[in-house]
Amino acid sequence: MENKQQTAITFLIEQIDKLEEEDGYLDIDKFFWLKQDALQMEREQIENAYWDGGQDVPINENRCAEYYEQTYGTPKSR
């Protein structure tokens, strides 16, 4: 199985859920640092996507969806 990256929002949600399970509540200080980590991760992902897009200009909109699935996998439905 390929090693997929994790989106910033998926990271943040998983970490919040993990903290709530461990502590029974969400500590505001821990949340602040998680938020900062997720924002940094998002910035890096956007910069990388911009760079990758310059290297592989999509011919059609389906290529954008393929890029997402190759990089992050298929989104889980709720």
Query: pLDDT for 23-57, tens place per residue?
Result: 888 788 888 999 999 999 999 988 888 787 777 67
Query: pLDDT for 51-66, tens place per residue?
Result: 877 776 767 778 778 8
Owning domain of residue 28: 8-72
Domain contains 37: yes
Domain contains 17: yes
How many C-beta atoms surround the C-beta of residue 34 within 10 A?
Answer: 19
Domain contains 1: no
Domain contains 2: no
State the DSSP H helix or E strand holding residue 6, giving kind and residue range, or none if neither.
none
The answer to whether the pTM exceeds 0.85 is no
- Reference 28, options 42, 16, 10, 40; nearest CA is 16
Domain contains 20: yes
Q: Is there a contact between 38 and 11 (Cβ–Cβ < 8 Å)? A: yes
Structural domains of the chain, count: 1
Domain contains 77: no
Domain contains 19: yes
Distance, in Å, from the CA atom of 28 to the CA atom of 25, rounded to the nearest integer, reads 9
Distance, in Å, from the CA atom of 59 to the CA atom of 67, rounded to the nearest integer, reads 12
